[in-house]
Amino acid sequence: MLMNGQQYVESLKKMRPNVYKWGNLIEDVTTNPATRLHVKSVALSYDAAFDPERAPIFTAKSHLTGERAHRWNTFMGSAEAVVGNAQMKRAQYRMTGTCQGATCAGWTGLNVLWEVTAKMDKDLGTAYHERLKKYFRYVEDHALALAGAITDAKGNRALKPSQQTNKMQNLHVVETLPDGIVISGYKVQICGVAACHEIIVVPGSGYGESEKDFCFAAAVPRDAEGLTCVETRRPSDARDEEEGWDAPEAGNITQAFLLFDKVFVPNDRVFMNGEFKYSGMLIGHFAAIYRAAIGACVAGQGDVMIGAAINMARANGLTQKTFQTTLTQMAVNNEITYGLGLGAIIAGKQQTAGLFVPDALLAHTNKTQVAKLPYENKVMAQDISGGIAETGCFPSYKDFQSPVYGQQLLECLTAGADGESRARAARLVEWLTVGGGIPGCMHGGGSPDGAKLVVKAATKWEALTADAKRIAGITADLSEPKK
C-alpha cells in the first residue's frame, strides 16, 4: 500500500502519546516543535511516492505482492535494491537537509531478519520465518515507518551485558510466556522514533550463551504499553523551538532514549528468542547493508553543504570561482563515501534466503571514511562562509526585530545580498556544520574503531606479503620475528 504525507501524519496522530521532551509529554508529535520537522521530512518521503519523477527512487516492487510499495517497506534482494536504498538516502537529504531515521534502521533490521529467521528455521526447526514474512506483509500493507533499535545503554563498556550491576542497561527478555515475551531495559540514541509507527528491536551485538537473555528480536509498536520514549535533541539543534529565520522549515533529525518497562510482545512479533548463535550473523548483515548505504546519507548532506557554502559566498559578495578548489574537494569527499558504498554493494552477494548483503570489507572501510570526510566538508563550508556561519557569532532573529537596534543589525549584515538572505544562508551553514544538521557521521551506524576491526580481520595480510615477496624476488623466510 502507498500512503501520502497527510495520511501518514494522520496515522501518527492516532497513536498513544508516549514521547517526552523537557520533562513534558508530547501530546502530538506532528505539531510539537521538538518533533514536527522530522515528521514533516518523512511526510515528504511518503509524498514522493506520488511524484512521477521521484517515485522510482522512493518506491519499489514488493517481493510479496508484486505491487508498488514505499521503498523502505520492501525487500533488498538484489544489488539494485540496495543501490536503491543508497539513492533514496541521498535524495532524502537533498530534499529536506536531514536524516530520516524512521525510514532507515528499522527497514534494514526487517530485511536482515528475513535471512536470519530462514537460517534459524533451517538449522533449528523453529518457525520464525513465516511470522517474519507475515509481519513484513503487514508493514507493507500499512505503509509503516520503522525505527531500528540496536544500541543499548550498555553500562560499563568493558563488561558484557550479563556482567553489569544493573541488567536494565541492556534490553533483555524478562519472561517467556506461552503467548509472547516480556522485555525490559534501555535502548538509546535511536533515530526517528517520534516519526515512526513501530520499532524493530534487535540485539546490540553478536553474543555468546552467557548473553542469551539479550539475544532476541521483535517488532514493538512505538506506543506499546510500558514503553516511554525521551527525545534528546538539544536546544541548539532544535531550530523549530526558535523563531523567524532562526527556524527554517528544514528537516530535523530526532533521537530518543527508549525505556522499556515490562513490555509484552506477542509471539507473532517475536523473531528470535535466545538463539544467541545467530546474533553475530544478524549484526554482521545489518552493519554491511547499513555501512554501505550510510556513505550516501553523508554525501547527500555534503551536497546540501556545497550548495549552502556557495550561497554564503555569493551572499558575501564573492563568486563561486573564488572558492572553486575548496568546493571541488568537498564534491570529491561526497563522491568517495557514496562511491565506496556503491562499490561495497556491487561486490556483495545474495544470501541463501535471498537477502543481498554488501561486501563487508568495503562497507566497513566506507564507515571509516564516513567518520572523517563529512567533518572535512564542514570545515571547508565554514571556511568559505566566514564567522557569521559559526555558532555564537550571530544575533538571534528576535534581536533583528528590536525597534531600538534591529535596523542597524540588519545593516551590519547586508553584503552581496540583503541582510535577511545572508542571515538565512548563514543559519543553514551553521546548522549543517555545528548544529543538529550534523548526521551521525562518527558513531551513527557504529563506531569507526569497530569498522576498523572488521577491516583488519577481512584483509588477507599474509597473501599481501606473499605477493610483495614474489614481486621483489625475495626467497628468504620473512615470517614475523620471534619476540
Ligand X SMILES: Cc1cc2nc3c(=O)[nH]c(=O)nc-3n(C[C@H](O)[C@H](O)[C@H](O)COP(=O)(O)OP(=O)(O)OC[C@H]3O[C@@H](n4cnc5c(N)ncnc54)[C@H](O)[C@@H]3O)c2cc1C
Q: State how beta strands 146-149 and 198-201 pair.
A: parallel
For the CB of residue 156, give the shortest distance to ligand X in the complex, in Å.
Answer: 9
Alpha-helical (H) ranges within 347-418 are 360-370, 373-385, 397-400, 406-413
**CA 165/CA 169 separation, integer angstroms:** 9
Q: Three-state DSSP class for 66?
A: coil
- The amino acid sitting at 15 is M
Q: Which is nearer to ligand X, 96 or 316 (CB)?
A: 96
Q: Is 150 among the residues that bind ligand X (CB under 6 A)?
A: yes
Site string for ligand X, 248-277 (x = CB under 6 A): -------x----------------------
**Residue number, 291 or 424, with CB nearest to ligand X:** 291
How far is it, in rounded angstroms, from Cα 438 to Cα 411? Answer: 30
Q: Which three cell numbers stand for residue 255?
A: 533521537
Using CB under 6 A as the binding rule, whether residue 155 contacts ligand X is answered as no
Q: Which stretch binds ligand X (CB under 6 A): 34-42, 122-130, 275-283, 442-450?
A: 442-450
Distance of CA 114 to the CA centre of its chain: 20
Query: Which of positions 447-476 make contact with ligand X (CB under 6 A)?
Result: 447, 449-450
Cell matching residue 88: 533514496
Strand-pair category, 356-357 with 180-191: unpaired
443 touches ligand X (CB under 6 A):
yes
β-bridge pairing 227-231 and 19-21: parallel
**What is the C-alpha separation between 293 and 314, in angstroms, rounded?**
33
* Residue 154 makes contact with ligand X by CB under 6 A: yes
Q: How far apart are CA 278 and CA 295, in angstroms?
A: 27
Query: Please, what is the Cα angle at 171 between 206 and 17, to 5 degrees?
Result: 135
Does residue 189 touch ligand X according to CB under 6 A? yes
Site string for ligand X, 45-74 (x = CB under 6 A): ------------------------------
SS3 23: coil
Enter the C-alpha cell of residue 149: 533499535
Of 57-65, 71-79, 186-194, 381-389, which segment contacts ligand X by CB under 6 A?
Answer: 186-194
- As measured in angstroms, the least distance from the Cβ of 66 to ligand X is 30
Q: Which residue is nearest to ligand X (CB)?
A: 440
Instruction: Say if residue 142 is exposed, middle or buried (CB neighbours under 10 Å; 0-12, 13-18, 19+).
Output: middle
Listed in sequence order, the residues at least 6 apart from 227 whose beta carbon sits closer than 8 Å to its beta carbon are 18, 220, 258, 259, 260, 261, 263
In the complex, the smallest distance separating the C-beta of residue 239 from ligand X, rounded to whole angstroms, is 16
Among 374, 435, 437, 440, binds ligand X (CB under 6 A): 440
> What is the phi/psi pair of residue 5, to 5°?
-60, -40
Q: Applying CB under 6 A, does 101 fall inside the site for ligand X?
A: yes
Least spacing, CB of residue 414 vs ligand X, in Å: 36
| 298 lies in the binding site for ligand X (CB under 6 A) | no
Pick from 65, 50, 146, 52: nearest CA to 107: 146
Nearest-approach distance from CB 292 to ligand X, in angstroms: 16
- Candidates 24, 125, 158, 321; binder of ligand X (CB under 6 A) is 158
Minimum CB distance to ligand X smaller for 269 or for 291: 291
329 contacts: CB under 8 Å, gap ≥ 6:
376, 380
Q: Which is nearer to ligand X, 423 or 441 (CB)?
A: 441
Which C-beta is closer to ligand X: that of 37 or that of 150?
Answer: 150
Q: Which three cell numbers stand for residue 314?
A: 555569493
Q: Which stretch binds ligand X (CB under 6 A): 59-67, 86-94, 152-160, 285-293?
A: 152-160
Minimum gap (Å) between residue 113 Cβ and ligand X: 15
Q: ∠3-103-281 over CA atoms, to 5°?
A: 130
Site string for ligand X, 104-133 (x = CB under 6 A): -x----------------------------
Give the pairing type, strands 19-21 and 24-26.
antiparallel
- Hunting for cell 510482545 — which residue is that? 265
Residues in contact with ligand X, shown as a per-residue x/- string from 129 to 148 under the rule CB under 6 A: -------------------x
Q: Which is nearer to ligand X, 151 or 366 (CB)?
A: 151
CB of 445 to ligand X, least distance (A): 6
From 32-40, 290-298, 360-368, 439-447, span contacting ligand X (CB under 6 A): 439-447
Q: How far is the CB of 123 from ligand X (least distance, A)?
A: 26
Nearest distance in Å: CB 191, ligand X: 3
Stretch that binds ligand X, among 23-31, 44-52, 77-85, 441-449 (CB under 6 A): 441-449
- Of the candidates 287, 302, 464, which has an alpha carbon nearest to the alpha carbon of residue 376? 302
Q: How many CA atoms lie within 13 A of 243 on its CB side?
A: 7
Residues that bind ligand X (CB under 6 A): 101, 105, 148-151, 154, 157-158, 189-191, 255, 440, 443-444, 446-447, 449-450
